[in-house]
């Protein structure tokens, strides 16, 4: 139990580090609210949808896909996901493939956080949900 709490604390600390990195001239703040559900048995897949809102007044609906593999098993659903972007100068930079890797474990109701990048753009994800999962996975978090 202590190991899982430590892993969660490290993930949350990384998410906080990305969000406090200094802003560059021209950067806008963008936030994504989303839902995501999926499964994994060596191959990991999930789909969902969300909405991105930016500080310059722009917003867009997005489709989310997660693909990857590793030593991973489970089924999960995130109902109240939040993504915070940094390094964004235009809403068009949000779409694309973000590198994703992580160790995960959970049962029943759970909460978690992840940090991923796509070039100069970083995305810190957090959320609550339900399901069960265990493993190590590498892959892509894709926003379309």
For 70-98, the pLDDT digits (tens) are: 666 678 788 888 999 999 999 999 999 99
Instruction: Check residue 93 and report its DSSP letter.
Output: G
Domain residues of the chain, as ranges?
2-143
pLDDT at 93: 94
HSE of 125 in the Cβ direction (CA atoms, 13 Å)?
26
CB atoms within 10 A of CB 125: 22
68 and 137 in contact (C-beta within 8 Å)?
A: yes
pLDDT at 16: 45
- Going by C-alpha positions, the residue among 65, 61, 11 that lies closest to residue 32 is 61
Over pLDDT 70: what percentage of the chain? 65
Q: What's the pLDDT tens digit per position in 42-78?
A: 777 889 999 999 999 999 999 999 887 766 667 878 8
Contacts with 143 (C-beta within 8 Å, 6 or more apart), sequence order: 32, 62, 63, 64, 94, 95, 96, 98
Whole-prediction pTM value?
A: 0.74
143 and 100 in contact (C-beta within 8 Å)?
A: no
- When the pLDDT of each residue in the chain is averaged and rounded to a whole number, the result is 76
């Amino acid at each position: 139990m202590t190991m899982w709490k430590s892993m969660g604390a490290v993930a949350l600390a990384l998410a906080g580090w990305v969000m406090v990195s200094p802003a560059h001239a021209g950067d806008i703040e963008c936030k994504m609210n989303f839902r995501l559900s999926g499964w994994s048995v060596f191959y990991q897949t999930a789909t969902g949808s969300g909405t991105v809102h930016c500080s310059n007044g722009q917003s867009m609906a997005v489709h989310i896909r997660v693909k990857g593999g590793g030593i991973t098993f489970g089924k999960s659903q995130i109902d109240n996901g939040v993504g915070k972007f940094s390094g964004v100068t235009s809403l068009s930079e949000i779409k694309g493939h973000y590198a994703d890797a992580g160790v995960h474990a959970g049962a029943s109701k759970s909460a978690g956080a992840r940090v991923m990048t796509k070039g100069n753009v970083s995305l810190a994800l957090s959320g609550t949900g339900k399901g069960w999962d265990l493993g190590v996975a590498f892959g892509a978090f894709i926003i379309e």
